[in-house]
Amino acid sequence: MCKPDAVERRLVGEIISRIERKGLQITSLNQRVPDRALAEAHYAEHSDKPFFGELVDFLTRGPVVAMVVEGPDDNTFSLMRTMIGKTSVDDAEPGSIRGDFATQTNENLVHGSDSHEAAEREIALWFPAG
């Protein structure tokens, strides 16, 4: 998912282009401003973290572009996580999306599911009609 900062900074094309050039397939895509309930459900695993409120404020402050990305094997989440880069801005490698374009850990442009199971849960949340 391209988070609101990616849309604001006009980096959606760059991010989509990297996914395409990698050889992965975007099989669903939509843009919307998520409501708080959707953002809270999406980040439920972080509900007890001190930054949870800020995280939900951030995700709901403008449009996001949600995508289903598919590849030849069931490790597409892992390929995407490598392309996205590490969570902390201090660790995100050059060549990754965060490493190349983000300067803050809380505004790090892209969300990527961290397991195949997480991808299935999140796809059901963001694309309920299938």
Q: Which residues are catalytic?
A: 111
Q: Is 123 in the site for ligand IDP (CB under 6 A)?
A: no
Which run of H or E residues covers position 7? helix 4-8
Nearer Cβ to ligand IDP, position 58 or 127?
58
CA distance 17 to 33: 22
59, 66 Cβ separation under 8 angstroms = no
Supply the minimum distance, in Å, between the C-beta of residue 129 and ligand IDP.
25
Binding residues for ligand IDP, total number by CB under 6 A: 9
Burial of 56 (0-12, 13-18, 19+ CB in 10 A): buried
Supply the minimum distance, in Å, between the C-beta of residue 74 and ligand IDP.
18
| Interface mask toward ligand IDP for 1-40; x: CB under 6 A | ----------------------------------------
Q: Is 78 in the site for ligand IDP (CB under 6 A)?
A: no
Binding site for Mg ion (CB under 5 A): 114
